[in-house]
């Protein structure tokens, strides 16, 4: 039994995205800042509701509110990679990136401040429009991290992920001079692809998509963004 349990843990660690996603720190904040000590503990500070707040994040992702990690900041600002929604992007002495991103994930929801950490290339969200189906177009895409598709194994019939692996992609259309949310759509197993038929009243001149980044072991991939023009 112990051997079976140990093998199950190892298999879970080997799966991409096995432990959640980029970490939500807070909503609707101002002036976010980030520092990381030599042991990999991050401190996030921000202004909200008339005062300064801080949160300490452990290497395993546990948040302690109102506390700061001890030790000097070993990271520095960088422009070596490009990520969307960026508030802070820093790199440590071992080449690990740390980022704060802020975006409105849910329609009518808060602008979420999220923390990620990873090595190498950031999360990639490809998006394109395809013609035609039922007198309209289809927005298609693919989500990958380090060349591997992002998807989950369990979800509701409506497409809500039920595990830490699954991801919804939130798609907006640009119509009547403004970006408007259509819906979220699940990435498919095993390709990380997705597709949304654009109903006539959703149709716009441009489309964009956003998603929360994956978790690959101790790497929390940054949140991603894609964009394409209409083909109609």
Topology of domain 124-229, CATH: Immunoglobulin-like (2.60.40)
Residue-level pLDDT at 12: 33
Predicted confidence (pLDDT) at residue 6 exceeds the cutoff of 80: no
pLDDT digits (tens, 9 = 90+) for 63-89: 999 999 999 999 999 999 999 999 999
Q: Which long-range contacts (CB under 8 A, 24 or more apart) does 166-171 make?
A: 167/17, 167/21, 167/143, 167/211, 167/212, 167/214, 168/211, 169/125, 169/141, 169/143, 169/194, 169/209, 169/210, 169/211, 170/105, 170/106, 170/209, 170/210, 170/211, 171/139, 171/196, 171/207, 171/208, 171/209
What global pTM score does this model have? 0.88
On average, the pLDDT of the chain sits at: 90
Q: For residue 5, what pLDDT is reported? A: 32
Q: Please report, for the chain, the start and end positions of each structural domain, with discontinuous segments joined by +.
A: 21-118, 124-229
pLDDT of residue 20: 62
């Amino acid at each position: 039994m112990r051997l079976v349990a140990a093998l199950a843990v190892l298999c879970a660690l080997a799966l991409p995205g096995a432990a959640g996603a980029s970490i939500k720190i807070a909503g609707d904040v101002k002036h976010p800042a980030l520092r990381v000590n030599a042991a990999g503990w991050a401190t996030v500070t921000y202004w909200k509701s008339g005062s300064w707040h801080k949160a300490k994040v452990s290497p395993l992702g546990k948040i302690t509110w109102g506390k700061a990690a001890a030790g000097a900041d070993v990271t520095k600002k960088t422009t070596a990679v490009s990520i969307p929604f960026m508030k802070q992007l820093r790199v440590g002495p071992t080449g690990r990136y740390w980022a704060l991103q802020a975006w409105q994930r849910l329609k009518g929801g808060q602008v979420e401040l999220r923390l990620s950490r990873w090595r190498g290339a950031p999360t990639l969200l490809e998006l394109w429009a395809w013609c035609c189906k039922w007198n309209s177009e289809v927005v298609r895409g693919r989500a990958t991290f380090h060349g591997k598709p992002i998807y989950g194994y369990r979800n509701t019939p409506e497409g809500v992920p039920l595990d830490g692996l699954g991801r919804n992609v939130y798609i907006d259309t640009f119509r009547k001079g403004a970006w408007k949310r259509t819906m979220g759509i699940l990435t498919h197993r095993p390709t990380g692809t997705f597709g949304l038929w654009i109903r006539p009243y959703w149709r716009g001149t441009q489309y964009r998509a956003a998603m929360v980044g994956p978790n690959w072991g101790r790497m929390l991939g940054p949140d991603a963004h894609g964009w394409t023009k209409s083909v109609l």
